[in-house]
Structure 1
Amino acid sequence: MCRLAAYLGTEIPLENIIAKPKHSLLVQSLDAQEAKLRVNGDGFGIAWYGHQTEPGLFKDVLPAWADTNLQSICRLVKARLFLAHVRAATTGATSRDNCHPFSCGRWAFMHNGNIGDFCRIRREMEMLVSEDYYACRKGTTDSELFFLLMLTNGLDVDPQAALHRTLSQVIDIARRRTTGEKPIRLTCVFTEGTRIFAFRFADDAQAPTLYLSECLDHGGRAFASEPLEGACARWRPVEPDRLYVLSCEGAEVHPLKLEQPVFAA
């Protein structure tokens, strides 16, 4: 399982989330406390937003703790909104193209978890992705494919509806193509550069962890796989089966509504 963090607020150095806190994302890459694997060393990535609508990306296959460039960039680069991810690979080889976050246009997306029996449903999922968005695909992960399917389903127009449609399609395909022995577990965070969307979902009720803080220093807000200062009152668990929409005004929470019945066509 991977670890991730996302920040929205006043412009701060990336290191204030990724490197400086007591239990920063960099610390979690070596010593995760709420994941199956304590070490997340199969690459890392950052997506940050500046004066342009599309994010900047920095990704590599080195373990986050071993890349001195990462710490230097995090110290010098400032952003008002950014996503960061350290990877423990479950699907797809260890390569730069398979490192999160993934981006397409103004959107950036990252994921912790996996789609069970992905090899059995991958082809049918790929067939649902539009040609334009399929051209954005660079890697081989279930995460990137889920992102492109959300884009196909109208992420630019209605993020909530696109998520509901995509989840419903994936669940429907999995029910028809697999035995159901391997679960679908999705903790995802994504953004178009002004808001951060996040949700936890698992068909076995064991979605990977995610926490939210709305009272960081300088008035910032953040999601993280594990509280960045360790257990404390200013971090609360993100409820499963809910879509959180984080803006400068605060967090809105919406129930996930899966389409029934689903026709993957």
Structure 2
Amino acid sequence: MCRWAAYRGEPIYLEELVSSPAHSLIEQSHCATRAKTATNGDGFGIAWYGERPEPGRYRDILPAWSDCNLKSIARQIRSPLFLAHVRAATGGGTRRDNCHPFVHGVWSFMHNGQVADFEHLRRPLEMMLDDELYAARTGATDSELLFLLARQFGLARDPLAAMAEAISVVEQLAQRLGCRVLVRFTAAFSDGRTLYAVRYSTDDLAPTLYAAPMGGAGGYCLVSEPLNDDTEAWVEVPDGSAVVVGADGIDVRLFAPHGHCVAKDPELAAIVS
């Protein structure tokens, strides 16, 4: 399983998530503590927003701990919104096109989880993409395809509903084809203005997601596992939740693919904020 971290708030250096903390993302790449596998050495990537609408991106197949360029870039780049990911491959070869985050237009996306029996679902799911989105698919992972399906279903209009529909379509197709119905999905995605995250699983074993304030008033960090030992700062986001971090701070909602339930939940929001 992969590890990732995302941030939205006042501009900070990427290193404040990627390399500086005691349990930074680079540290998690070879010593994760809240995942099935401790090592996430099948590549890494970062996507950050700056002066242009589209995000910058840097990815490689090297383990994050062995790439000196990653540490140098993280030390020099400041951004108000960025996504960072270290990969433990569950499908798709170890190549740059399969490394997260994935980018299309202004959107960036990264994922921790899996789609069961993906080899049987891949072709019919790819056929649901229009020509432009099909041509944009350069890798072979279930993660990238879920992202492009959400783009197909209106990510730009209603991000959470589009992501819910993408997951719902995968589950319904698996059931129709007699495959194992299982989607484990903890993901972050952004259009450069708002940071979104979802924690969901068909079998109630969703990969972990934590939130903590960072970078001044209204800034938040979302991570697969805490970046330090300050247990009071990090709040675990419940399974079946969507997180929205925008100009007004953080909001947490109920999330369920079937029926596209993305209703606001004041009690959840109060816990996280």
TM bucket (normalised to shorter chain) is: over 0.9
Paired residue for 2:271? none
Paired residue for 1:159? 159
For residues 159-198 of structure 1, the aligned pairs below 5 Å read: 159-180=159-180, 183-198=182-197
Name whichever of 246-255 and 151-160 sits farther off.
246-255
Paired residue for 1:206? 205
Separation of aligned partners in 1, 2:61 and 2:256:
36
Separation of aligned partners in 2, 1:13 and 1:41:
23
Contact persistence 2:151–2:162 (CA under 8 A): yes
Separation of aligned partners in 2, 1:41 and 1:133:
29
Contact persistence 1:120–1:178 (CA under 8 A): no
Name whichever of 171-180 and 64-73 sits farther off.
171-180
Give the alignment's TM-score, normalised by structure 1. 0.94
Name the amino acid aligned to 1:244.
V
Paired residue for 1:140? 140
For residues 32-71 of structure 1, the aligned pairs below 5 Å read: 32-71=32-71
Q: CA deviation at 1:183?
A: 3.0
Residues 96 and 194 from structure 1, CA distance in 2 versus in 1: closer, same or farther, beyond 3 angstroms?
A: same
Paired residue for 2:108? 108
Asked if residue 216 in structure 1 is aligned to residue 231 in structure 2, the reply is no
Q: CA deviation at 1:259?
A: 3.6
Alpha-carbon deviations, 1:140-163, whole Å to 9, x = none? 000000000000000011112211
Q: CA deviation at 1:217?
A: 4.1
Paired residue for 2:268? none
Paired residue for 2:251? 252
Alpha-carbon deviations, 1:59-106, whole Å to 9, x = none? 000000000000000001111110000000001000000000000000
Name the amino acid aligned to 1:42.
D
Separation of aligned partners in 2, 1:235 and 1:206:
20
Q: Provide structure 2 residue ranges, at least 5 long, that are not aligned to the other structure.
A: 261-273
Separation of aligned partners in 2, 1:184 and 1:221:
27
Contact persistence 1:199–1:238 (CA under 8 A): no
Paired residue for 1:90? 90
Name the amino acid aligned to 2:72.
S
Separation of aligned partners in 2, 1:257 and 1:227:
25
Contact persistence 2:47–2:57 (CA under 8 A): yes
User: The residue matched to 1:124 in structure 2 has which SS?
Assistant: helix
Q: CA deviation at 1:231?
A: 5.0
Name whichever of 218-227 and 115-124 sits farther off.
218-227
| Paired residues, number | 259
User: The residue matched to 2:154 in structure 1 has which SS?
Assistant: coil
